[in-house]
Amino acid sequence: MTPFWIVIIALGVLAAIVNFAIAVTRRGELMVVAVRTLAGLLSLVAAVGIVVGKEADLVPVLLLWPYKVIGAGVFVFAVLFLPSIIGKNSAAPDVTLQQRAARPANATVRLREQGADEWVN
């Protein structure tokens, strides 16, 4: 087995561990748990599939380097970046326009009187 495949297998196992750990820590958010669990299973299946495929010589075709690099990029995007994007979208609270107008983000704090210790928004 070439070092490229060893790195991809290690990356797949590491991605599975990371995704399962994040799924466990964010149990309250069902969408994050589902996406992270699916991504962890996908990366684990890919790593095991590479090991079994290489040991059993199931794929006799030698892939060229550009195809390997493109495949590795798609794999990393699918199991690491895509779940984080979905996790960020589901974690954003739904804030109405009235709630944003009631407490603007750029509110200034000023003293009412020069000698007073009292702060006012």
Q: How confident is the model at residue 21 (pLDDT cuts 50, 70, 90)?
A: very high
- The answer to whether residue 41 is domain-embedded is yes
- The answer to whether residue 103 is domain-embedded is no
In the predicted model, is pLDDT for residue 97 greater than 90? no
Q: How confident is the model at residue 58 (pLDDT cuts 50, 70, 90)?
A: confident
The C-alpha R_g of the chain, in whole angstroms, comes to 24
Distance CA 84, CA 41 (A): 16
What pLDDT, on the 0 to 100 scale, is given for residue 54? Answer: 82
- The answer to whether residue 116 is domain-embedded is no
- The answer to whether residue 57 is domain-embedded is yes
- The answer to whether residue 32 is domain-embedded is yes
- The answer to whether residue 118 is domain-embedded is no
Mean confidence (pLDDT) of the chain = 79
What pLDDT, on the 0 to 100 scale, is given for residue 106? Answer: 60
Domain hosting 14: range is: 3-95
- The answer to whether residue 90 is domain-embedded is yes
The residues, any chain, with a CB within 8 Å of residue 43's CB and separated by 6 or more, are 11, 12, 13, 15, 16, 19, 75, 79
- The answer to whether residue 102 is domain-embedded is no
Distance CA 104, CA 112 (A): 20
What pLDDT, on the 0 to 100 scale, is given for residue 17? Answer: 94
Instruction: Look at the chain and report how many structural domains it folds into.
Output: 1
The whole-angstrom distance between residue 106's C-alpha and the CA centroid of its chain comes to 30
